[in-house]
Amino acid sequence: MNSGPIITTRDLRKVYRIGKVEVPALRGVDLQVQPGEFITIVGPSGSGKSTLFHIIGGLTPPTAGEVIVAGQNLAATSDAGRTRLRKGAVGFVFQKFNLLPNLTARDNIIVARHIAGMDGAPDTKFEEVLRLLGIAHRLDHKPNELSGGEQQRVAIARAIVKNPAILLADEPTGNLDTENSQAVLELLRGLNQQLGQTILMITHNPEAAQYGHHTIHMRDGRIIERT
């Protein structure tokens, strides 16, 4: 197993240009995440949490600084390189679930495996994940036939079915009631503890933040505290 950090950022900066106005979203973020860690990120809106996620997940390039994810320096990687990162090393879970509406839960998961180049029969880990998530009996339903909690479990299954090095969860309980929120958080904790899944989770909920090994506090595009 790689003993070094799975995520490293040094003086990471991101500036968005809106018309002629430059808006700095990240103003020099230094972060290290070890394999198997469960990190939560909290901070007010506009603090740069999502931007940090998008850069670590390879959805957008940084403006300056260094970001190394699963051994790849994303500051020096092309769009195709970032696509490869999303394909294999990173799995996303979104607040709005983002399942493909016309496909069943099973097909949503199969599409993710197909894109990742895993077209063979599901492995034992896949079966274990489905058991862990408790959605095996709901796989033939379309998203609009599933509750919010079920949809988010399918989204988690879709994210981890390709065995990503890192699971990025952006407000995964933001659209769920308390009961389902707790269930999803327990699932993420279970994945971390039982499968050793590295997880970074954005949350506004202080209770949800408690599920991580560490919590990073962000404000105005900087990390102001790590607890």
Partner 1 sequence: MRTLLSILLIGVPVTLILSLVGLTHGLLQDSEQRTRGIGADVIVRGTNAGATFNFTGATLSEGFVAFLQKQPHVKLAMGVINHPIELPLVVTGIDMAKFNAMSGGFTYLAGGPFQQPDDVIVDRYYAAQRHLHVGDHVTIMYKPWRVAGIVEGGKLSHIFVSLPVLQDHDSATGKLSQIYLQLDNPANTSAVIADLKKTLGPEYPIWSMADLTSMLSIDKIQGLSQFILVIMGIGVVIGFAVVCLSMYMAVLQRTREIGILKSLGASKGFILRIILMEALLLGVGGTVLGILLSFGACWLIGAIVPASIPMVIVPYWWPIAGIVTLVGTGLGALYPGLTAARQDPIEALAYE
Single out the segment in contact with partner 1 by CB under 8 A; choices: 75-83, 126-134, 176-184, 200-208: 75-83
Q: How far apart, in whole angstroms, are the C-alpha atoms of residue 13 and residue 61?
A: 10
CA proximity to 159, closest of 188, 131, 180, 139: 188
62 lies in the site for partner 1, by CB under 8 A? no
x-marked contacts with partner 1 along 16-55 as a string, rule CB under 8 A: --------------------------------------x-
Measured in residues, the chain has a length of: 227
Q: How far apart are the first and last CA of the chain?
A: 26
How many chain residues are in contact with partner 1, going by CB under 8 A? 23
83 lies in the site for partner 1, by CB under 8 A? yes
CA proximity to 51, closest of 211, 155, 129, 168: 168
86 lies in the site for partner 1, by CB under 8 A? yes
Burial class of 157 by CB neighbour count within 10 A (0 to 12, 13 to 18, 19+): buried
92 lies in the site for partner 1, by CB under 8 A? yes
Three-state DSSP class for residue 67: strand
Single out the segment in contact with partner 1 by CB under 8 A; choices: 28-36, 78-86, 139-147, 187-195: 78-86
DSSP one-letter string for 78-115: -HHHHHHHHHHTEEEE-TT----TTS-HHHHHHHHHHH
Single out the segment in contact with partner 1 by CB under 8 A; choices: 79-87, 139-147, 184-192, 211-219: 79-87
Report the site for partner 1 in 103-142 (rule: CB under 8 A): 111-112, 115-116
* One residue of 15, 36, 59, 189 binding partner 1 per CB under 8 A: 59
Q: How far apart, in whole angstroms, are the C-alpha atoms of residue 81 and residue 87?
A: 10
CB of 3 to partner 1, least distance (A): 27
Q: How far apart, in whole angstroms, are the C-alpha atoms of residue 8 and residue 5?
A: 6
60 lies in the site for partner 1, by CB under 8 A? yes
* Interacting residues with partner 1 (CB under 8 A): 54, 57, 59-60, 79-80, 83-88, 92, 94, 98-101, 111-112, 115-116, 158
